Structure 1
Amino acid sequence: MEEISHVLWAHQTMVKSSNGDTPFSLTYGMKAVIPAEIGMPTFRTAELDMAKNDEALQINLELLEEKREQAAITEAKSKIQMEKYYNVKVQNTSFKPGDLVYRNNKASRAEDTGKLGPKWEGLYEVTEALGNGSYMLKDCNGKELPRTWNVCNLKKCYIHKM
Structure 2
Amino acid sequence: MEEVSHVLWAHRTMIKTSNEDTPFSLTYRMEAVIPAEIGMPTFRIAEVDVTKNDEALEINLELLEEKQEKVAIREVKSKIQMEKYYNTKVQNTSFNPGDLLYRSNEASHVEDNKKLGPKWEGPYEVTEALGKGSYKLRDRNGKELSRAWNVCNLKKCYIHKT
Normalising by structure 2, we get a TM-score of 0.91
After TM superposition, give the deviation of residue 149 of structure 1 in Å: 0.9
1:101-136 deviation digits (Å, cap 9, x = unpaired): 011112222030411111111111101101011111
Q: Distance in 2 between matches of 1:133 and 1:10?
A: 44
Paired position in structure 1 for 2:106: 106
Q: Which amino acid aligns with 2:107?
A: A
Aligned residue in 1 for 2:96: 96
Q: Which residue of structure 2 lines up, in the alignment, with residue 119 of structure 1?
A: 119
In the alignment, residue 103 of structure 2 is paired with which amino acid?
A: R
After TM superposition, list the pairs within 5 Å mapping 1:145-156 onto structure 2: 145-156=145-156
* Structure 1 ranges of 4+ moved more than 4 A: none
Matched, 1:8 2:8: yes
Q: 1:70 aligns to what SS in structure 2?
A: helix
For structure 1, the 5+ residue unaligned runs are: none
Q: What residue is the counterpart of 2:133 in the other structure?
A: 133
Contact kept? 2:13, 2:24, Cα under 8 Å: yes
Please name the residue that 1:158 is paired with: 158
Percentage identity across paired residues of the two chains: 80
- Structure 1 counterpart SS, 2:25: helix
Q: Scaled by the length of structure 1, what TM-score is found? A: 0.91
Q: Is the 8 A contact 1:28 1:61 kept in 2?
A: no
Residues 106 and 113 of structure 2 are in contact (CA less than 8 Å); yes or no, is this contact kept in structure 1? no
CA contact (8 A) 1:19 1:74 kept: yes
RMSD across aligned positions (CA): 1.5
Q: Secondary structure at the match of 1:121?
A: strand
Please give the alpha-carbon distance, in whole angstroms, between the structure 2 residues aligned to 1:109 and 1:91.
26
Instruction: Judge conservation of contact 2:105–2:113 (CA < 8 Å) in 1.
Output: no
SS in 2 for 1:44: helix
Equivalent residue number for residue 47 of structure 1: 47
Q: How many residues align structurally?
A: 161
Residues 1:29 and 1:122: Cα distance change in structure 2 (over 3 Å)? same
